[in-house]
Amino acid sequence: MISRVLGLEMPLVEHPDSRRPLYPHQAAMLEAWNAHSSLLLASKTGSGKTRAAMFPVLWHREYAIAVYPTNELLRDQVRAVEKIALDEGIRAEIHRPDKPHSPHADHVLIPIDAPLLDLWQRGRTRSRGEALRNLLSRERPRIIFTNPDILFNILSAQYHLDALAPLDIYNTIIFDEFHLYQNVELAHALMMVYLARGLGFFRRVVLLTATPHPEVRDLLDKIIQPTEISSKHGSDDTRTRTAVHDVYISPIVAAEDPVDQITSRILKALPDLKRLREKNPDDSYIPAVAIVNSVLDAIRVEDEIVARDFDRNLIAVIRGLSNRALRERAGKLIAVGTSAIEVGVDFDCDLLFFEAFEAASFLQRFGRAGRHRESHALMFVPPNAFEAMSACPESMDRSSFERLIHICYPLAEARPWFAATEYGLLAAASIAERLFRTVQKDHKAGKQYLSRFQQRLDNIFSAYAAALGCDQQLLSRVEAKVNYSRNGNPKMSWYRAYLQLERFRTSMPSVEIHDWLEQARRGNWNLGTYEIDLSALLRRGRNIRRNTKAGLTITGVGSTRRVHAGESVAHLSRGVPLRTSVYPIHLLQDGLDTPISGWLSDTDHVFTVVPRADVDALIDWRLTCFEAGSNVLAFDGAALLLIEIYRRRQELSTRVL
């Protein structure tokens, strides 16, 4: 059964500042640019959000920082903005460690993630902070493309105070795919914006999203009061342009393990993929994209199609647990990956194979099709979704299709309420606290300056809490705990440990490993080395070892292992923050010790323990928790969220009683 989801035809308007007709929301963004300090653009995937946000920056020759949730999207967007500038006759050049920009460029485009920052530092400067200061310089207008982790470390002065100094000339900060910020990361992102503006940086905040969560929107109205611009703006011009092309859809009832279904469909399409690649040799084009829910399934899809004579060198691998060099798409027949593909990355493809387990992810993945041409999407869906799609008319518009998906699939809760809780406020306050402690270490800062600066940070935080609607009693309790921490109170030693972690995300810290099976798969030593977060390593890694030459090694990744702390936490208090240096936690893999089971005790981490029965129904895959007898435990930022989930459960139980 094949139906058609109609493309998106959008009206055009002429604007005197642009060489080409714009969509109404792009023109509206230009008009609103200097009239508002906060802008929220909510527009469908493929409707030109990047041009809407970046053209005003280029046109006004502004300094800007653009923040992307993944490095894959970050690098993709640098190329997209270079093309936008070219279309508009603006000389914008990408500046990389191996490619300096021309002195005649109107705008410099600089991608910065952790690996690139290391390359900028190597052989050029003494530290990351010095490298960042040079990249953020006032030399000529520039757009910095980075991720929230780098921004987090800049604003909390973890690289060096010198990296903060140039920010006063950066007019605009842009957050793309803002709907992906949830839970602790949402609280961190909001505080970063509020702190930066309180310090005089980023006079304009621009948020881009395809699917704004209603509760998050309410929170944004409290914090930054954004003026909303949407693709619903009209035009008197009768001309239109195809923003997104038609997508033919083939729903397929997914088996419990859909890998065999997906691989057989890919192999069946192989002759067509070869024909399409011969017809279109352009590097930006790839005939097919396959997106599955787990890294293990992505590996299995790749291995199974290779076992049936699909050339591995014709597969772009875009997932975790792999070397970044494998992501190159030029000349490939198919991209195989996970959620790393879905986050806004621009694919020019004919065929899309995918599965998904919740509404936002489904629509993100579906949005990879139809961006440059008519496409065909083969969707592996549960029975209820298959029945609903089978009843679809021969064709339907995109809005109707999106409504159908929201009926068929759950919408993951963003938990914006966490920002206004005690531990949500403590997580937010930690950014300003880290900044103050760095300033405090600066030998040039006198006592009077430090006192004034601390008061300024305290005022910014108090204003942030008030904007969230927090009552004075809660604010006083949080401020008291922060002061106890400053004064060395033993009860707040966990907070001092939390400040040392310097992490934006709630995922576990990453370690570099060498994967012998991946090396054999690629036939290359270097391609067998990649980064993996600690929880994924313990859950998936096989035969974890330490090797004198290769360091930490595994022999591939496999099915999920049982990762647990046993009953060793049975005596600990429930729902309070604790430290691994005081209460060492050993995470076991299927009951066995590994070389990294005690790794969390090497560095002081924060953790909490709560009864599993109280929170099981309230936690999902986004919150990394581990079994501990009849309890569950979580670390660092995830621990703070788990405490508040546990508290909410207790409050609910009290009300019921």
DSSP secondary structure of 431-476: HHHHHHHHHHH-TT--HHHHHHHHHHHHHHHHHHHHHHT--HHHHH
Looking up tokens 């993929």, which residue turns up?
273
Q: What percent of the chain clears pLDDT 70, i.e. is strictly above it?
A: 98
CA 638/CA 600 separation, integer angstroms: 14
Tell me, what's the pLDDT at 161? 76
Q: What is the pLDDT of residues 164-220, one digit of tens each?
A: 888 999 999 999 999 889 899 999 999 999 999 999 999 999 999 987 778 889 999
Q: Which two tokens stand for residue 534?
A: 């600690």
Task: Give me 454's structure tokens.
Answer: 């601390």
Domain extents in the chain? 16-239, 245-408, 421-501, 510-656
What pLDDT score does 235 carry? 63
pLDDT at 284 > cutoff 70: yes
For range 39-64, the mean pLDDT: 93
What is the DSSP code string of 414-431?
--GGGGGSHHHHHHHHHH
Query: Who's near 210: CB < 8 A, 6+ residues apart?
Result: 42, 43, 44, 45, 49, 177, 179, 363, 364, 367
Q: Look-up: residue for tokens 């693709």?
A: 231
Which positions ≥6 away from 103 have C-beta within 8 Å?
none
| pLDDT for the residue 567 | 74
pLDDT at 544: 94
Cβ atoms of 196 and 202 within 8 Å: the answer is yes
Structure tokens at 265: 């469909």
Phi, psi dihedrals of residue 198, rounded to the nearest 5°? -65, -25
| pLDDT at site 96 | 87
Element (DSSP H or E) covering residue 251:
strand 247-253
Mean pLDDT of 634-645: 96
Residue 236 binned pLDDT confidence (cut-offs 50, 70, 90): low
pLDDT band at 558 (very low <50, low <70, confident <90, very high): confident
**pLDDT greater than 70 at residue 244:** yes
As a whole number, mean pLDDT of residues 421-430 equals: 97
Say which range, 68-77, 86-95, 449-458, 558-567, has the weakest mean pLDDT: 558-567
CATH class of the domain whose range is 245-408: alpha beta
Whole-angstrom distance, CA of residue 320 vs CA of residue 313: 18
Residue range 537-558: average pLDDT?
91
Q: Measured between alpha carbons, how far is 194 from 464 in angstroms, rounded to an integer? A: 7
Q: Are 16-239 and 245-408 the same fold in CATH?
A: yes
For residue 655, pLDDT over 90 is answered with no
**Sequence-separated (6 or more) residues with CB below 8 Å from residue 389:** 1, 3, 249, 251, 379, 381, 404, 408
pLDDT for the residue 304: 96
Under a CB-based contact definition with an 8 Å cutoff, are residues 245 and 7 in contact? yes
Taking CA atoms, 212 is separated from 394, 436, 516, 556, 628, in Å, by 29, 33, 42, 38, 36
CA–CA gap between residue 283 and residue 468 (Å, rounded): 47
**How much is the pLDDT for 653?**
67
DSSP state for residue 92 in the 8-state scheme:
E
Measured distance CA(332)–CA(534) in Å, rounded: 31
Name the 3-class secondary structure at 165.
Answer: helix
pLDDT band of 126, cuts 50, 70, 90: confident
* 8 A C-beta contact, residue 338 and residue 363: no
Best CA proximity match to 255, nearest among 292, 309, 305: 292
> What local confidence, expressed as pLDDT, does residue 547 receive?
86
Sequence-ordered list of residues with C-beta below 8 angstroms from that of 212, at least 6 positions apart, any chain: 40, 42, 178, 179
**Neighbour tally for 50: CB within 10 Å:** 21
Helix (H, G, I), strand (E, B) or coil at 173: strand
Q: Say what the pLDDT of residue 566 is.
A: 73
Q: Which amino acid is at 166?
A: P
Query: Would you place residue 656 in the very low, low, confident or very high pLDDT band (cuts 50, 70, 90)?
Result: low
Are 70 and 343 in contact by the 8 Å Cβ rule? The answer is yes
CATH architecture of 16-239: 3-Layer(aba) Sandwich (3.40)
Q: Compute the average pLDDT of residues 495-511.
A: 88
Residue 614 has pLDDT above 90, yes or no: yes
d(CA 265, CA 269): 6
Closest residue by Cα to residue 163 from 137, 189, 143: 137
